[in-house]
Amino acid sequence: RRCKRPIPITTAAIATRGLALPQIVAAADASLPRSPDFLQSLSAWTVGAVEGEVDFDLLGLLLSCNYRLCSADTTFVNRTIERGTAPGSGTPWFLARLIGFAKVKQLYLNGATISASEAQELGIVDQVTAADSLEDDGLAAAERFAAQDRSALHAMTQAMDLVRLDFNSYIRGAGTGYDRHPR
């Protein structure tokens, strides 16, 4: 699709992976892979909130947060095949971990648009809120998590990351859950 009025970009090219890209595209190409790593490296729980139309190519940024909210009028739009590009921001990787490879493949091949309620049913978002309360609900969620024991939240997140392993590997990585109980 073409914009009615093109957005001016700096024409000075930056070489990335052997390609010369416009400066704004090269900056996004360099920063997007680092953003999920940064969000996942934080010792605090991260809360992500979105509203409106969210492109699948940016969905990976939201999926890298520990808790995700969206307004009821949010739609997650997939134009990847239509655009003729590889999926962006690690979205397929995050989605496959959440909802499974077959469902992700189906979403991409069908160019599916997902409503807020469908995203919640799939586990893509944890909470759907009214559009006018998204910011307040996001802050309330952040405050709720801030009041929790940080190491317990971290241990739970780590355990959930290990559930795809065989049981013995899971126990070695996550522990039995009894090591922190008072004796």
pLDDT for residue 71 is more than 80: yes
Whether 136 shows a pLDDT value over 60: the answer reads yes
Residues in the chain: 183
pLDDT score of 12: 45
pLDDT higher than 90, residue 127: yes
Mean pLDDT lowest among 30-34, 70-74, 104-108, 150-154: 30-34
Least confident range of 4-8, 43-47, 157-161: 4-8
Q: Which band of pLDDT confidence, cut at 50, 70 and 90, is reported for residue 14?
A: very low
